[in-house]
């Protein structure tokens, strides 16, 4: 689904990601772990076309995708749920969701209703809060809005940047369960950056470790969970 070779990304005069290689297969959840500052968010933003001046070879859904804009990538089915969630606080929950629909280039009312009902099926809490201003929701609920907005774009692949950070433990479980359902029921591919390593290991099919702007290890989640030197790898 996604294949990345020798990827470089950063900020003006700050190179961060320096030659990252990774693959995410169809219907696969791949976790990406690394210390703060390792370059995880920069990698995701770079892949999603948010940063200028990235280079490397990227293939997405069977076609070359190097240098594509965020808009083009969204239309092809890749969506980033950013670490800061990017929710529009003064818009209602449903207006936020609608932004995802428009971002995908779709505009048919019937298709909107279909995607909306499907997303609300996964995120029933948002149905109750549909007309509330997103800014009045809790952090966990805003994370659901951010994921819901991504779902309204009809994605084949989600890039999730720390979806569970700062959430209460029961919400962390909810988010992980949701990610698994999206894989199992929608065959979605997921690249999942997480600080909640234990839960992410339980949900993921494969794991990468990132350090200093590169992918330094690839691992099997069960082996890594059982590994005594897990932390020395970081």
Ligand X SMILES: Nc1ncnc2c1ncn2[C@@H]1O[C@H](COP(=O)(O)OP(=O)(O)O)[C@@H](O)[C@H]1O
Q: Is 74 in the site for Mg ion (CB under 5 A)?
A: no
Q: Is 206 in the site for ligand X (CB under 6 A)?
A: no
Q: Is 155 in the site for ligand X (CB under 6 A)?
A: no
Alpha helices in the chain (DSSP H): 40-47, 70-76, 93-103, 109-122, 124-128, 139-152, 169-186, 197-203, 221-226
Taking the CA atoms of 220, 221, 222 and 227 in sequence, report the sign of the dihedral they define: positive
Q: Which of 41, 74, 143, 204 binds Mg ion (CB under 5 A)?
A: 41
Residue number with CB closer to ligand X (73 or 210): 210
Backbone angles phi, psi at 15, to 5 degrees: -70, 130
Residue number with CB closer to Mg ion (15 or 62): 15
Q: 189-193 and 157-161 as β-strands: parallel, antiparallel, unpaired? A: parallel
Question: 156 in helix, strand or coil?
Answer: coil
Stretch that binds ligand X, among 8-16, 58-66, 120-128, 151-159 (CB under 6 A): 8-16
Of residues 39 through 98, those in contact with ligand X by CB under 6 A are 39-42
Residue number with CB closer to ligand X (11 or 102): 11
Residue number with CB closer to Mg ion (40 or 129): 40
Q: Is 115 in the site for ligand X (CB under 6 A)?
A: no
Q: Is 11 in the site for ligand X (CB under 6 A)?
A: yes
Please state the length of the chain.
234
CA angle 48, 181, 135 (to 5 degrees): 60
Interacting residue ranges for ligand X, rule: CB under 6 A: 11, 14, 16, 34, 36-42
Contacts with Mg ion by CB under 5 A lie at 40-41, 83
């Amino acid at each position: 689904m996604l294949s990345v070779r020798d990827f470089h990304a950063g900020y003006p005069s700050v190179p961060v990601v320096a030659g990252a290689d990774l693959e995410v297969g169809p219907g696969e959840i791949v976790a990406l772990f690394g210390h703060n500052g390792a370059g995880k968010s920069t990698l995701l933003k770079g892949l999603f076309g948010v940063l200028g001046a990235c280079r490397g070879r990227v293939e997405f859904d069977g076609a070359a995708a190097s240098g594509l804009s965020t808009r083009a990538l969204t239309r092809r089915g890749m969506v980033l749920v950013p670490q800061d969630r990017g929710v529009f606080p003064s818009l209602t929950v449903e207006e936020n969701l609608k932004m995802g629909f428009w971002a995908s280039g779709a505009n048919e009312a019937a298709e909107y209703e279909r995607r909306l009902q499907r997303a609300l099926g996964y995120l029933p809490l948002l149905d109750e809060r549909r007309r509330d201003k997103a800014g009045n929701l809790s952090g966990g609920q805003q994370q659901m809005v951010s994921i819901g907005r991504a779902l309204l774009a009809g994605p084949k692949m989600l890039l999730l940047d720390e979806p569970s950070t700062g959430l209460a433990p029961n919400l962390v479980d909810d988010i992980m369960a949701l990610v698994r359902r999206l894989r199992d029921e929608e065959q979605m591919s997921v690249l999942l950056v997480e600080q909640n390593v234990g839960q992410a290991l339980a949900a993921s099919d494969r794991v990468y470790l990132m350090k200093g702007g590169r992918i330094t290890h690839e691992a099997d989640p069960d082996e890594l969970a059982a590994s005594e030197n897990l932390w020395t790898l970081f």
